Each structure stands twice: as C-alpha cells, then as structure tokens.
Amino acid sequence: MRRDLGPALHDPGWPAAVRQVEFNGQNAPAVHQLLVLGREHGGGRVADYATWLDAFETDPEFDPALCFVLEDAEGVVAVAQCWTSAFIRNLVVNPRAHRQGLGLALLNQVFKAFRQRGEGHVDLKVMESNLAARRLYERAGMQYIQRHELDPR
C-alpha cells in the first residue's frame, strides 16, 4: 500500500494520556516485545532482540529517529518502525489500547516525518487476511498499488 505525501496531512493528535518518546536503550526491550506481539497477531517477521537492536547501528535502512514510540502510564503502547526508504516496516498498537485512535495518529506522525525528509510517498506491506490493519491504512489514505501471492510453505 502507498500513501502519497502531496495532499494535506493531518496532525497526529493522540489522547492526553499518551506521549511520543524517543526510541532509546531504555525502551528498546519494550518496543521489541510489542513488535513481537504484533507479529503474533498480524503476521510478518521480527528478528531476535540482539539482531534487531544491532540493525540500528549496522543496517543503513534502520534509523532510530524512524522508530516512533508512544507511551502511556503503563509503558510502550504503540510503535511504528520505519526504514529510511520511506517504508513502514512494522506498526503495532498494544491490544489494551485498541480503538483509541493511536494507529491512525501514529501513521499521521510517520507521514509528517517522511514529508519533512522530502519523500513523496510512504509504502508498506500488509497481509490480505489482516482486515483490521487494512481498514486502518485505508482510513489513513493509503491505496493498494500491488498484490503478491504468498508462496505456500
């Protein structure tokens, strides 16, 4: 799916009890744990913690500034991890915070950040079976650009 960054973008606007924080060594374990939880519910892949964390220092597609983290009183509640190629690698909202608008707000923050970096669009992949995610991405103005059949394993 793709979101053109030319049209007007919405401000993120999350609930008052939620705040954006920088990705750092202290919240990295909780961020990784949430990404793993998201993989269990929505598919995709997340490397083991050490490999995943090392990628921020060794892989040119990883940039800590492109790991958007939201916290509430209980800790990390949502994360969007993006690649420098204007690609959303993972977006997960903790199930305890579903239906609060955090996914849409986080997407809007990602769109804003990539527009500031001079990108014309943002891409992501989503499983056809992940209907909740597909509806979220459609509400955020993303459009289908290509479909792939998965190889049976």
Helix, strand, coil percent content, the chain, rounded in steps of 5: 35, 25, 40
Handedness of CA 113, 116, 117, 123 (dihedral sign): positive
Average pLDDT over residues 54-76: 94
9 is in which domain, residue-wise? 2-139
Entry pTM: 0.89
Longest C-alpha distance within the chain, in Å?
A: 44
Question: What CATH number should be reported for the domain holding residue 100?
Answer: 3.40.630.30
Tell me the per-residue pLDDT of 90-147, one tens digit each, with 9 for 90 and over.
Answer: 999 999 998 889 999 999 999 999 999 999 999 999 888 888 889 999 999 999 997 6
In-domain check, residue 144: no
Domain count for the chain:
1
Return the CA Rg of the chain. 15
Average pLDDT over residues 24-47: 87
- Measured distance CA(43)–CA(106) in Å, rounded: 19
Average pLDDT over residues 45-67: 92
